[in-house]
């Protein structure tokens, strides 16, 4: 397993994410377990694994174990929290990116074939936090960007969901200017159908394995794990087809008709 080598800085945002160099020579964005935000790390882990399986542009990530001595030297990390949780979520830092807020002129998203999948993934996992800060844009050529997705701390409705709340996750169209922005670059509405089929083909066993790998000290109970898999299976079958249809009808089509 990679080990932390040097601390760089705290990153902007409410999760207290830290930039740390590891023994593989690369920099990772590390999130610690925090009380009050208990589901941040499980959400990040589940969303990451699913996004990777779907071939969505999510930075490589892994669960790391940072020694207590190293963590103690980070001012914003609470001692109690280091003691209670040995494992952290680390996501590879993508250098030289801009957030969706910092870019005004985009002529092309080079990985545009992933965009319909990102939107359906957000609806499937109930990620209501696809703000312009939670995409990263890397300019590969003038006004041509590769898009990355980050920050799935608020999947399943929130960073502190309870099992009872999973029953009533939203089934409505979300207001997201980032989804609107991405929709401009989706070539055909058929892409939504293709992505839905891929989501529906993910083996249930894989979803079960993903939740099984959550470290015990992230306090996700057996009941929580069962409920997550149950909701994912139910939503992709019963709710996602309807949300896909609504999204295409109320957001994708009007945007493209206007642009014709
Ligand atoms: N893999 C990454 N590569 C480059 N920058 C990143 C990466 N992950 C996070 N960042 C930067 O760190 C910031 C905070 O990370 P993230 O969005 O995951 O946590 P957050 O604190 O929950 O954010 P917020 O609550 O502000 O949305 C991001 O807005 C982004 O600028
Ligand atoms: Mg964020």
The three-class DSSP label of residue 141 is strand
CA angle (174, 179, 183) in 5-degree steps: 130
- Written as tens digits, the pLDDT of the chain (260 aa) is 899 999 999 998 888 899 999 999 999 999 999 989 999 999 999 999 999 999 999 999 999 999 999 999 998 888 888 888 999 999 999 999 999 999 988 999 999 999 999 999 999 999 999 999 999 999 999 999 999 999 999 999 999 999 999 999 999 999 999 999 999 999 999 999 999 999 999 999 999 999 999 999 999 999 999 999 999 999 999 999 999 999 999 999 999 986 66
Length of the chain: 260
At residue 14, the pLDDT reads 83
Tell the residue nearest (CA) to atom 18 of ligand 1. Answer: 151
CA angle (127, 160, 213) in 5-degree steps: 80
Q: Looking at residue 11, what DSSP letter applies?
A: P
Find out whether the beta carbon of 176 lies less than 6 Å from any atom of ligand 1: no
Q: Give the span between the Cα atoms of 254 and 260, in whole angstroms.
A: 10
Interval between CA 202 and ligand 1 midpoint (Å): 28
Interval between CA 87 and ligand 1 midpoint (Å): 19
List the structure tokens of 20.
């740390």
Pairing label, strands 4-10, 27-31: unpaired
Q: Please choose from 134, 146, 176 the residue to mutate so as to test ligand 1's pocket, defined by most ligand atoms within 8 A of CB.
A: 134
At residue 260, the pLDDT reads 64
Find out whether the beta carbon of 174 lies less than 6 Å from any atom of ligand 1: no
Of 88, 42, 45, nearest to 65 (Cα)? 88
In this structure, are residues 42 and 217 in contact, taking their beta carbons and an 8 Å threshold? no
Interval between CA 257 and ligand 1 midpoint (Å): 34
Q: Give the span between the Cα atoms of 238 and 236, in whole angstroms.
A: 6
At residue 80, the pLDDT reads 80
- Produce one character per residue of 152-180: b if its CB has 16 or more CB atoms within 10 Å, e if not: bbbbbbbbbbeeeebeebeeeebebebbe
3-state DSSP helix/strand/coil % of the chain, to nearest 5: 45, 15, 35
- Number of C-beta neighbours around residue 27 at 10 A: 18
Domains of the chain: 4-92 (3.30.200), 98-259 (1.10.1070.20)
Q: Any residues with CB less than 8 A from the CB of 44 and at least 6 apart, and which?
A: 31, 61, 89, 91, 151, 152, 153, 155
């Amino acid at each position: 397993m990679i080990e932390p080598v040097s601390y760089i800085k705290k990153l902007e945002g409410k999760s207290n994410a830290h930039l740390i160099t590891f023994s593989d020579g690369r920099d990772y964005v590390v999130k610690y377990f925090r009380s009050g935000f208990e589901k941040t790390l499980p959400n990040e882990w589940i969303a990451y694994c699913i996004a990777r399986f779907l071939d969505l542009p999510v930075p490589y990530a892994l669960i790391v174990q940072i020694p207590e001595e190293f963590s103690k030297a980070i001012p914003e990390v609470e001692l109690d929290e280091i003691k209670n949780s040995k494992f952290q979520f680390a996501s590879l830092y993508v250098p030289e990116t801009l957030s969706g807020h910092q870019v005004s002129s985009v002529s092309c998203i080079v990985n545009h074939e992933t965009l319909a999948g990102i939107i359906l993934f957000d609806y499937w996992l109930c990620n209501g936090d696809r703000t312009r800060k939670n995409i990263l844009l890397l300019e590969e050529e003038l006004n041509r960007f590769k898009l990355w997705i980050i920050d799935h701390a608020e999947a399943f409705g929130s960073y502190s969901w309870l099992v009872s709340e999973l029953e009533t996750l939203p089934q409505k169209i979300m207001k997201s200017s980032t989804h609107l922005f991405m929709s401009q670059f989706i070539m055909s509405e058929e892409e939504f159908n293709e992505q839905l089929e891929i989501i529906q083909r993910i083996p249930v066993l894989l979803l079960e394995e993903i939740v099984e790998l959550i470290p015990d000290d992230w306090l996700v109970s057996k009941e929580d794990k069962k409920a997550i898999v149950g909701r994912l299976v139910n939503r992709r079958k019963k709710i996602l087809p309807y949300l896909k249809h609504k999204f295409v009808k109320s957001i994708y089509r009007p945007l493209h008709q206007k642009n014709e």
